[in-house]
Structures are given as structure tokens and as C-alpha cells.
Structure 1
Amino acid sequence: MRNNDYSPRNDRHQRGPRRGGFPFGPELDWDPREAGGPGHPGRRPGRRGRGRGGDVRAAALLLLAEQPMHGYQLIQDIAERSEGRWTPSPGSIYPVLQQLEDEGLVEFERVDGRKTATLTDDGRELVEQQRESLGTPWAPQAGEDHQDYRDLSVALKTFISAWKQVMRDGTSEQREKATVVVDDARKALYRVLADDDA
């Protein structure tokens, strides 16, 4: 029986423990379009989003046609090529990689302790045949306001930078205050979404 251990949990274990953690999950692994919470379950039904399997599948196939990668590399590469507009979550990347393996399009091998995906001959043939239809999944979608995403991404990076400094240099009392600030920011974001939907 095949040992299917390709999961975010195992990949995190191979990378070693993360120091501290991030206020919105893994660093920059946050997409305002994926937001959910009380009274706002995230994407509206019927809207095709970048996080859906088809888009992630196309991105994974195209990137793996360039070179073997593990899941975290795929996430980083997609985020970089989309200029921060799209950062897929591990929960969308890893199931797609598993599905591609089940279809015989990728195979895995350990590289520096990480389970790395490589296209099989069938996978490369599929990419060549479907390259045009695969498109450029990280490119801006029609009607997308690029500047809004760029501004929000920059704001989030500076927020995380300030949070890291408090975690590193702050006193216990300052870290407690920072926890309240982060929690208030999370609640404020949900209020923004609620006001927009009203």
C-alpha cells in the first residue's frame, strides 16, 4: 500500500517548528477574497475563485513543467507571479497534488527531506497538449482592481513586520497589548466585509 503522507502537516514537520506563528496563519498565506468568519462565510456561492481546484491545478501543472517543486515552493511561486494578488492555501495546493499523483501525472521523491513533486512523462505530455487552455492562472482576471490587492498586500506585510518586532523585542505586557490590537484588527476586517454586504 502506498504511504500517502503528502500533507501540510507532514510538510510543516519536515520544515521544522515555526517560531511564534503569524496572526493570520502562515506568513502571507492570506487572501482577502478567501476571508470568512461570523456572518460572512467567504466566497459567495456560484463565483469562480482562484482558490478553486481548476485554477490551482493549472498553476501546479505549469510550474511543475518548469522544475520539480514541493508544496510550499508552489505557494510562494504563485504568490510571486501574481504580485501578491493570489496566495493559495496549503488546503488547496496539497489535495490537488495528491489528485495529480492519483492520475499518474506527477510522482514524488524526497529532496532534502521534503516530498517534492515531479511531472511524469504523461504529465509533461498533458501540459504540452493543453498549454493554451491552461492559460496563465496567476494573471489578473478581467475586472480585477490590481492596485487594491497590491495596496492591501503591502499593508499586511508592514503589519506583520510590526507584529514580528513586538514578538521579538516587546515585554510581556507589550505582547499582551499587541494581542488585543491583532484581535481588534481581525474583528474590524469582518466589520468591513459586513458593511460592504449590507
Structure 2
Amino acid sequence: MRPAVLALLSESPMHGYQLMQEIRRRSNEEWRPSPGSIYPILQQLEDEGLVRTVEEGGRRVAQLTDAGREHVAGREEEFAALWESHTPDDDPTADRFTALHKQLGDLWAAAGQVAYTGTDTQAAEMRKILSDARRRLYALLAEDPNDED
């Protein structure tokens, strides 16, 4: 899990919840880190001087220090290998579900950002958008698949 945390922090600062969600998303739910695994890793990286945390929007956000950036430099291939999919090639629905999973992960990340950093008004608007999307998806299933426009 430590290399995954370093890989993500090399891309951008994140708080613990974002790290957990992004690891789940990028590993196609194969890794499901808990707070009990992420926060001790962050503390260890901070103790080693590779990461520092700053207060941002009421949350503690971790970011690499200069020493941390030096530590991860040149490890791009190693980090990319962490996220290689383990979906069987013979599964005809794999591409469809992989694409859906990525889009849902992106939506989840965006909704999380609004929930954590947005105003109350923005959070209320987000809930309306998500409710509308849910209704529209069910309406899509109710359509006649043979009725082409």
C-alpha cells in the first residue's frame, strides 16, 4: 500500500479519504484500503520526512516534501504497474464494466470534492444533480430498445 500512496501523492496532494477512494478506483476494487492502513502509512511517511500534512478546507492534506519528490523520482514505471488491470481478457463485458467503473470513480471523486470543499448551496445542487442522474438512468431502462429515434 505504501507505493500506492507515494504514487498518488506524486500526482497531487490528497487527504486520507481521497487516497482510499483513488486506490480502490485505480485497482478496480481489488485493493480496499481502510483508515487503519492509510493513516499509519501517512504518519510513517511524515516521520521519514517524505510527506507533510497541511490544513486545507478543514482537512489534513498530505503532500510530498522535496525529499519525497526525490524519493519517487524515476519510479514512474513501478507506479504505473501498480494499477494494471487484472480483468480476464476473455470476459466480453470487461471493457464495458471497466469503462463504467472508471466513470463512476471519477463521479465519486468529483462528488466527494463538492461534499468536502463546496458550500452548502453547492452540496445541495450536487444532490439534485445526482438524483436527476439516477432517475434518468432508470428511465433509460424503461425505454423500448427497439424504438430508435
TM-score bucket (shorter structure): 0.5 to 0.7
Q: Is 2:25 aligned against 1:80?
A: yes
**2:47 aligned partner:** 102
Distance 1:118 1:101 in 2: 10
Distance 1:85 1:134 in 2: 16
Distance 2:25 2:78 in 1: 22
Alignment of 1:83-162 (within 5 A): 83-140=28-85
Distance 1:81 1:129 in 2: 20
Deviation of 1:133 after TM superposition, in Å, equals: 3.6
Following superposition, which runs of at least 4 residues in structure 1 exceed 4 angstroms of deviation? 144-147
Structure 2: gaps spanning 5 or more residues: 92-96, 102-149
Instruction: Give the conservation status (yes or no) of the 8 Å contact 2:9–2:62.
Output: yes
State the Cα RMSD in Å: 2.3
TM-score where L is the length of structure 2: 0.54
Distance 1:80 1:133 in 2: 18
**% identity of equivalent residues:** 52
Structure 1: gaps spanning 5 or more residues: 1-55, 155-198
Instruction: Give the conservation status (yes or no) of the 8 Å contact 2:20–2:34.
Output: yes
Q: Is 2:64 aligned against 1:64?
A: no
Aligned residues: 92
**Larger helix proportion of the pair:** 2
TM-score where L is the length of structure 1: 0.41
